[in-house]
Structure 1
Amino acid sequence: MSDREARASTDQETAPLLADAPNDEPHESFKDRFADMLHEPLTPMNKLLLLLVLFFLILSSVFIGLFAGAETRLNNAPSNGPATTVTSVVSKPTTVLATTTVIVAPVPSSPPSSPPPEAVCLTSECVKLSAAILSSLDTTHDPCENFYAYATGGWLKSHPLPSDKGRFGQFAALSRENLAIVQDILSADGSISLASLKSTADERLLTMLRDLYSSCMNEDTLDEFGNLPLKEVARVIRRLYRGDGTDIKSTDTNGSKKMGKGKGFTAALAYLHSKGISALFDMSPEGDAAVDPNWMILWFSQPWSFGLPSKEYFQDADMRELYTDVLTRLLTALNEEEPDAAKWEDLISARRDMTEAQTAQAAFSLDEHDTEEAQKIWPPWPWPPWGGDDGDKKPLDPETLAKKIVEFERNLANATLDLDKLTQDPFGTYNKVPISNVTSQLSKISFPNYFAAFNPRNYPEEVIVTYPPFVTDLGRLLNDTDDEVLEGYFVARAALSLSSRLSMKTEEWKAVRGLQEVLQGIKPGAVGDRAEYCVNQVDSALGFAAGRFFVNETFGGDSRDKGIHIIGSFKESLANIAWMDDKSAAAAAQKADKLRIKVGYPLSPNTTRPGSLLAYYNLVKISKLTFFSNMLSADASDVYKSWQFLGKKRDQEAWEMTPATVNAYYNPPANELVFPAGIMRPPFFSKEWPAYLQYGAFGMVASHELTHAFDSAGRMYNQDGKLEEWWTNQTSEGFKVRQQCIQDQYSSYYVLDPQGNKVYVNGLLTAGENIGDSGIIQAFRAWQSNFNASYAAGNEYLLPGLNYTREQLFFIAFGRQWAENIKPASLVQRVRTDPHSPNEFRVDGTISNVPEFAKAFNCSAKARLNPPDKQRCMLWS
């Protein structure tokens, strides 16, 4: 339009626009101007303009045709088919123009040629979830070569290892979040006020919890008492060991005085065991796996802990020297001259508040003759020096005594069964014998007095021994070791177990902490948040009570039902396993059907009923002042409760984990799966997540535990939890071939110790857990089998900003859970003691056996995590 052309006046517009100055020239239509132009000769300028117009029309038509043709072919292509390359050849402009006219012409009545693009969830929760997933990744790695680094690298970089820890990962991070919730509950100024509670029982529970927490947080009182609480424990041990019932007249061939079958040795040992302190051996009730898994019988096994984590550490001269130094410091501190007894006034008062029944249940009453003396928990002052009735015998100095204790413990550890055989051979570790077989070989122990300390209903006539040679070797060791060394060993076991409950200013706390720093690679002197430690202690002592309030805060709605649904969906995936014949498959399905699934919180004690919790904790007396004594009271209560089931039926509603725990477990004798509310939270579970993430994340946990029912040890328990061969020989042989494949695979993996030396994974020790991890394929198949129904229900929705398929996100959800920063020293300790492989191998080792992973990420045939099928250990194919 030229400058001379007029605009329409503003009173002719239907919408307000900014107008130019008015022009009174008459309006000439475009038709008139076009006709005039046709009758006029074309100037050079007009010819040039006309050519340019024609050129741009043709060019525009070409691009429109190409775009429309490509779009039509893409819309008509199958959604899951291979990509199609579209090539358009344009020979004549007129043809292109005609094609363009046809393609762009609207046809309202025709349906779309393919489904519309899927909607993406754009809520704040979906955006946060996408951000969390993206931030956990490190896409500089090739997922087909190192999926662990790919799925966890971002999280590892943004979560450096705290200086006070040897390892920290996703599990620990969620545990810290859970404990922060519990901490808020325990704080007097937290989210829950006593006045807001609707029942007196809840008020009493919360008061008990807060008193225990405040006693732990009261560092001024801890500093004031110093090492006095532990000194009193050491004095009780020594007093009981040197009791009047001790026979000290017998001697060995070298003239050393021996106690023989006296009550003193037994009394000291029973005292330790009554407080949950491991020493010499472990004896506790458990189900009779080969007869009636629900009938509780006595089991005798090797000790579940030593001063060093495993027998391998005792072979290391440097580690023995360090351990000897720690014991020297402990024994020296506990042998110092006793301070003024007046400082014990508050502690004595707190202990005297215990009822007579509670005192007996705390295992201080050993028999009727010694009841009065044994209940004198705080002995008279001053305590006599070492030697007593031993005449002129000079006691060993702390360093020499420590060396002898380390050598005794080294011999004790060498007598134990290797952990891989202990955990992977249920038949070999079930040896039922008359109780006399044990008592006759351990003549130093008065077993009637020992059992009386735990007040069982009936004297056991039979016992199941996990490793009979250990009983023989233990008896020989006890007979060949001086009493001074054995008494020192008992004191050392108490000090190693209880020093963390003292003031951090004490020599005992510092000595034990120094040992842990070396074993775990912790920065010397680095101490974590006191509140975190104290919340952990509360959960350890009163975890079911704390769990009631935790569940109310975090586990509402239908989380329980959704969790059970995901777990239950795996049962169908157990069918059609190549190496399992029809008879065994039917039995496996029967076992799966009889699985007892527990999710969220226990019913014994019943977390939903505060009265049930009060009854459960009625033996625990809590003081605001004496944290050390509070924990001893809780420990004794736990031990006492477990012994009350000897000769009775198992409590089938009981749990081994508290509700806030970030973990899960399968219990073979009970044939039960247990998933605490603590792990039913992001990044492991959310009822709001799309199903492919639920199955990849929580499905990983659920399938792992379900697979334990059919792993190297779990498969030996039938649907009722009874120990028997319920598979056919053919099926068992097929399983063993695949189990051996997995053992060999993981035995080839290694970690580096602090000096850079290789430490190989024990494929036998970790076999059961590695097989459990292989259950991820069960989760994948369960998700796929439910996909159509889930999609129709709107549970497979997409998340924003994630350029991944649902299959890829399933495996990413699986992999990112195992993110963990860990020090080399902690890694070595894990390899030597933990039946779980290091997390890197739990991810890459697992998915290398899953062809569906390689397909999801389009891995090449040469990729590290896409080996040929003949090299894969495919257990559930």
Structure 2
Amino acid sequence: MAEPRPSTDQEDAPLLQREDGDEPENTNGGASVLDPTQLNNREKVLAVIVLILLAIAGTFIGLFASTEVALKKERSHPAATVTVTRPSPGPTGKPAKPVCITPECVTAAAEIIQSIDTSADPCDDFYAFANGGWREANSIPADRGIYGQFHSVADRNKKTLLKIIDSINLEDAAFDAETDNLRKLKDTYTSCMDVDKLNERDAKPLLKLVKEVVSTIGPFDVNPMPDSESLADEVFWAGSYSPDYEVPEWLRATAFTRKDIADHLRNAGKVEVGLQPAALEFDGAEVEPARKQKITKTLAFLHARGVDALLNFIIEGDAGGENSQIQALYFYQSFGGLPSKEYYKEKPMLDLYQSVISGILKNVAEEGQASNGKRDLLSDIIQEAAEEGWPWPWPGGDKDDPVKTEPLEKRMDKLAAKVVDLERQIAMAGADPEYLFNPSFSYNPYTAKDVQKALPFLDLGAYLSAMAPRKYPSKIVVSHPPYLKKIAKLVEEVPDHVLSAYFVAKLAMAYGGALGPKTEIRKQVKTLSNVLSGVKPGTEENRPDICLNAVDGIVGFIAGREFVQAAFSPEAKADGEHIINSIIQAFYDKLPRIMWMDEKSAMAAQKKAKAIIPKVGYPLSPNTTDPNSIRNWYQNVPIDADDYFGNKLNSEIMDNRRAWLTLGRERNRNTWEMYPQTVNAYYSPPDGEIVFPAGILQPPFYSYDWPSHLKYGAFGAVAAHELTHAFDNSGAQYDEQGRLRDWWTNKTVKAFEERAQCVSHQYSKYFVLDDNGKKVYVNGNLTNGEDIADSGLAQAYAAWKAGSKNAEMLPGLDYSPEQLFFIAFGRIWATLTRPATAVARVRTDPHSPPYWRVIGTLRDNDAFHKAFNCKPGSPMNPPKGEQCSLW
């Protein structure tokens, strides 16, 4: 299946849950009502406190403090960045509607009061108005480049998950599915946290895997290294790394490319169905059968354990076929240990990478020698003498054939240089992500016979039999055909011991993180990771955070079940589904009235809108509500509280096995791409699904007890964003069955492109500031799909207004429901970003910066202009000729 399109740029945000882990106190959706009178600010605050005490009898929400509002009013603000030249169109005055005083509403009101900055004019800079208070009260942690609402909520939720794990007591527990699941959850976390045991075991678990590799492909430690196999050119990066080196921001930006541009462009373009791709080329020699079998067996071993090496086979929906739900085999290029091609041109980075790989290989070689037992005395003396150099000629020896040997460290350093050079050539052989993830370039179907001919070093039949014994595919979709020829040539020329070292290094990089923090191999892997991520040397790792991420990766659905039980009610699921369906209906109703779309295209669009499948909360495969289903899902994943490395290994093996078992079958519609606790959402074009895990149906996105204008302004914006992706410049290429087809008339396509270009031009005028205050502009073409999707906020507003009856007010706030709708939208994008990170993201991230996601969306929204009485020509209501209207 094609990769999902996330709604935010915080794609790896962890689970989101109520901080106390309890269910809401009021679960019937009702609200107490207060008939308000005109009060001054202090009187309002005192009244709210009294109401809280009466309504929830001393609960913690009583800290909705009058001092917060008083401080906000009395605080001496620094010089504003925007000059206010007219009175601010503030609150609409005395509310004429009932006031919601449930704990959830009171909390929401308190957070809004803390978030807004009333000194900012919402018609000048709505982002500053909605988030100025939050930005003043928060700061960016030292180890991050960006911090926002997503991160804040995620941090709190990790504490909640810890509370759940710590509360698990299995003494005298029944032997049932629920107990088995909880034991695996607890044992996974415990195994990761036991660093003493991990350090004690050192690299032994990894060495078992290394032994399998070298026993198949052959040893990497050749003594002495053949002179004829030295690099063709001098190692041009030698000595260029220093401990104070930092990855340049322009280079760090390319690290976003693989993930973010892939999300944006993976489903862009069109596939011309039936068009035959060019024939695969190969001009190399045949590979000796024994070598072919060694390489094939090694690749199968590594790939089955999730290790990326030389090439990748992935199971995805056949978007170019008649049925996009049939899972097909795709061939992808391999990615290296560095984030992008550009890193392989950066001398200090290559110097560091060689040092890391050298350290890994040296440690593996030393550990391997130690595990094989101590040498006898004679061997020891000979080896030491060899490494020091003979002080005299061997009696009777041949002077023309002196003993050649090198110290281990020198051998591994030379070998590491060859590995880095090999990986550099592999990286350069691959396509750039913007092509790799565009189906008009990457959907190239070939027969398995053609692929086998182009990869003479691989026994494709044996490989596929090992990976997918039930189904041999007749078709393989190749993402970048030239890669096959280039990689085949590289494998033909590389010596086996260099290939062996490359495989060992890839294995260590994949599993080194599962070793103890004091293990030398783990230190090497961590050194590279810290430099790539910008973490300062010596920064202490957050072990609980690492282990919670491990829980997510190993037993994520068990954690998801516990999360749903703690923080997601059936009522919330039904309400979320209602919100999404109402937005789909509002969009459906609007389509015939869109002037630039002709009748035929509008009818086809309505057909697709009705075919969209919304999914809320959690998957049914495995069934989150059924402990037996969860247990069955993990029954072949042994978990041992004393073996974190083994737990990770078992999980990787099973994940790959599950994927290969789907080959040739129709996709199980009950499976999801995300865990229930994930704070995100996605639209899958081939599947026609918009999916919303329970993790995102949490404050500040959603609460069951909120008034509808808050729900639609926050969560509704996310839902409308995903729906609109089905009709943006990428999703619009898929028909109602998820197939890559033309289904619009040429006239409508042209009109759409004109309006999409308007959006592109608008966002290309936006910018961020670098460290020197220089403007770096948004690439409106890159962000076009996400910007169009953000404009779906109009559908959320229309759906809310269509179903809105007696909208409730929030205590202590005189803002109208319409104004609170937009405030709720603006607040979810509250973010602080370092200039360097902002520049890195704006260069390659397909999402516009959070600031402009709010400003750009609302500048084009007439309902916002009306709600805040923004006069024509004001910054938030520019002239109509400067606004864009699409959906």
**TM-score normalised by L of structure 2:** 0.73
SS in 2 for 1:289: coil
- Decide which of 432, 438, 446 is 2:445's aligned counterpart: 432
In structure 2, relative to structure 1, the CA distance for the partners of 1:700 and 1:444 (3 Å cut) is same
Measure, in 1, the Cα distance between the counterparts of 2:564 and 2:842.
34
Instruction: Kindly indicate whether residue 106 of structure 2 is the aligned counterpart of residue 127 of structure 1.
Output: yes
Give the conservation status (yes or no) of the 8 Å contact 2:763–2:780. yes
Shift of residue 402 of structure 1?
A: 3.4
In structure 2, relative to structure 1, the CA distance for the partners of 1:611 and 1:321 (3 Å cut) is same
* Greater alpha carbon shift after TM alignment, 147-156 vs 777-786: 147-156
1:821 is aligned to 832
Instruction: Kindly indicate whether residue 293 of structure 2 is the aligned counterpart of residue 263 of structure 1.
Output: yes
Measure, in 1, the Cα distance between the counterparts of 2:823 and 2:774.
31
Measure, in 1, the Cα distance between the counterparts of 2:597 and 2:175.
55
- Decide which of 203, 206, 219 is 1:227's aligned counterpart: 203
- Decide which of 365, 374, 377 is 1:335's aligned counterpart: 365
Give the conservation status (yes or no) of the 8 Å contact 1:178–1:678. no
Which runs of 5 or more residues in structure 1 are unaligned?
1-113, 245-251, 344-384, 386-390
SS in 2 for 1:570: helix
- Decide which of 308, 314, 320 is 1:284's aligned counterpart: 314
Instruction: Kindly indicate whether residue 492 of structure 2 is the aligned counterpart of residue 479 of structure 1.
Output: yes
SS in 2 for 1:608: coil
Shift of residue 404 of structure 1?
A: 3.6
Give the conservation status (yes or no) of the 8 Å contact 2:146–2:832. yes
| Paired amino acid for 1:582 | E
Structure showing greater relative contact order (alpha-carbon pairs closer than 8 Å, 6 or more residues apart): 2
Instruction: Kindly indicate whether residue 551 of structure 2 is the aligned counterpart of residue 542 of structure 1.
Output: no
- Decide which of 660, 668, 672 is 1:651's aligned counterpart: 668
| Paired amino acid for 1:338 | G
Residues 754-807 of structure 1: CA deviation (Å, up to 9, x unaligned): 7877765454443332322221222122222222xx32xxxx200122242322
Instruction: Kindly indicate whether residue 422 of structure 2 is the aligned counterpart of residue 408 of structure 1.
Output: yes
Shift of residue 162 of structure 1?
A: 2.7
SS in 1 for 2:324: strand
1:167 is aligned to 146
In structure 2, relative to structure 1, the CA distance for the partners of 1:312 and 1:690 (3 Å cut) is farther
Give the conservation status (yes or no) of the 8 Å contact 2:105–2:705. no
Residues 67-90 of structure 1: CA deviation (Å, up to 9, x unaligned): xxxxxxxxxxxxxxxxxxxxxxxx
Give the conservation status (yes or no) of the 8 Å contact 1:426–1:713. no
Give the conservation status (yes or no) of the 8 Å contact 1:166–1:520. no
In structure 2, relative to structure 1, the CA distance for the partners of 1:804 and 1:466 (3 Å cut) is same
Q: Quick one: percent identity of the two aligned structures?
A: 43
Q: Paired residues, what number?
A: 702
2:158 is aligned to 179
Measure, in 2, the Cα distance between the counterparts of 1:312 and 1:511.
22
Shift of residue 199 of structure 1?
A: 6.9
Measure, in 2, the Cα distance between the counterparts of 1:622 and 1:807.
51
In structure 2, relative to structure 1, the CA distance for the partners of 1:204 and 1:778 (3 Å cut) is same
| Paired amino acid for 1:446 | D
Measure, in 2, the Cα distance between the counterparts of 1:735 and 1:537.
44
| Paired amino acid for 1:681 | Q
Give the conservation status (yes or no) of the 8 Å contact 2:218–2:500. no
Measure, in 2, the Cα distance between the counterparts of 1:805 and 1:123.
18
- Decide which of 736, 740, 754 is 2:753's aligned counterpart: 736
Shift of residue 538 of structure 1?
A: 0.9
2:739 is aligned to 722
Which runs of 5 or more residues in structure 2 are unaligned?
1-92, 221-227, 233-284, 374-385, 387-402
Measure, in 2, the Cα distance between the counterparts of 1:663 and 1:562.
18
Measure, in 2, the Cα distance between the counterparts of 1:860 and 1:401.
69
SS in 1 for 2:454: coil
Shift of residue 637 of structure 1?
A: 0.4
2:853 is aligned to 842
1:769 is aligned to 786
What aligned pairs does 1:247-326 form with structure 2 within 5 A after superposition? 260=288, 262-290=292-320, 291-303=322-334, 305-326=335-356
Residues 514-543 of structure 1: CA deviation (Å, up to 9, x unaligned): 333333333433335322221221111111
Give the conservation status (yes or no) of the 8 Å contact 1:520–1:829. no
Shift of residue 501 of structure 1?
A: 1.9
SS in 1 for 2:664: coil
Measure, in 2, the Cα distance between the counterparts of 1:492 and 1:154.
48
Shift of residue 604 of structure 1?
A: 0.6
1:686 is aligned to 703
Measure, in 2, the Cα distance between the counterparts of 1:512 and 1:647.
37
Give the conservation status (yes or no) of the 8 Å contact 1:420–1:766. no
In structure 2, relative to structure 1, the CA distance for the partners of 1:277 and 1:253 (3 Å cut) is closer
Residues 141-199 of structure 1: CA deviation (Å, up to 9, x unaligned): 44344433433333334332233444332223323333333322222xx1x44479777
Measure, in 2, the Cα distance between the counterparts of 1:664 and 1:311.
30
1:76 is aligned to none
What aligned pairs does 1:78-227 form with structure 2 within 5 A after superposition? 117-187=96-166, 190=167, 192-194=168-170, 200-227=176-203
**TM-score normalised by L of structure 1:** 0.74
In structure 2, relative to structure 1, the CA distance for the partners of 1:219 and 1:315 (3 Å cut) is same
2:715 is aligned to 698
Measure, in 2, the Cα distance between the counterparts of 1:507 and 1:824.
35
What aligned pairs does 1:232-631 form with structure 2 within 5 A after superposition? 232-242=208-218, 260=288, 262-290=292-320, 291-303=322-334, 305-338=335-368, 341=371, 397-423=411-437, 425-571=438-584, 572-574=586-588, 575=591, 576-631=593-648
Measure, in 2, the Cα distance between the counterparts of 1:162 and 1:197.
41
Shift of residue 813 of structure 1?
A: 1.1
Give the conservation status (yes or no) of the 8 Å contact 1:174–1:662. no
1:97 is aligned to none
What aligned pairs does 1:750-761 form with structure 2 within 5 A after superposition? 750-751=767-768, 761=778
* Greater alpha carbon shift after TM alignment, 603-612 vs 141-150: 141-150
Give the conservation status (yes or no) of the 8 Å contact 1:259–1:483. no
Give the conservation status (yes or no) of the 8 Å contact 1:704–1:772. yes
Measure, in 2, the Cα distance between the counterparts of 1:201 and 1:228.
33
Measure, in 2, the Cα distance between the counterparts of 1:481 and 1:831.
39
| Paired amino acid for 1:205 | N
Q: Is the radius of gyration larger for structure 1 or structure 2?
A: 1
SS in 1 for 2:442: coil
Measure, in 2, the Cα distance between the counterparts of 1:824 and 1:323.
27
Residues 327-368 of structure 1: CA deviation (Å, up to 9, x unaligned): 33333333334375499xxxxxxxxxxxxxxxxxxxxxxxxx
- Decide which of 620, 623, 634 is 2:651's aligned counterpart: 634
SS in 2 for 1:440: helix
SS in 1 for 2:467: coil
Residues 822-844 of structure 1: CA deviation (Å, up to 9, x unaligned): 44555455456643333233323
Measure, in 1, the Cα distance between the counterparts of 2:827 and 2:426.
41
Measure, in 2, the Cα distance between the counterparts of 1:116 and 1:833.
45
Shift of residue 406 of structure 1?
A: 3.4
| Paired amino acid for 2:189 | Y
Measure, in 1, the Cα distance between the counterparts of 2:851 and 2:857.
10
| Paired amino acid for 1:310 | S
In structure 2, relative to structure 1, the CA distance for the partners of 1:469 and 1:151 (3 Å cut) is farther
In structure 2, relative to structure 1, the CA distance for the partners of 1:577 and 1:515 (3 Å cut) is farther
| Paired amino acid for 1:506 | T
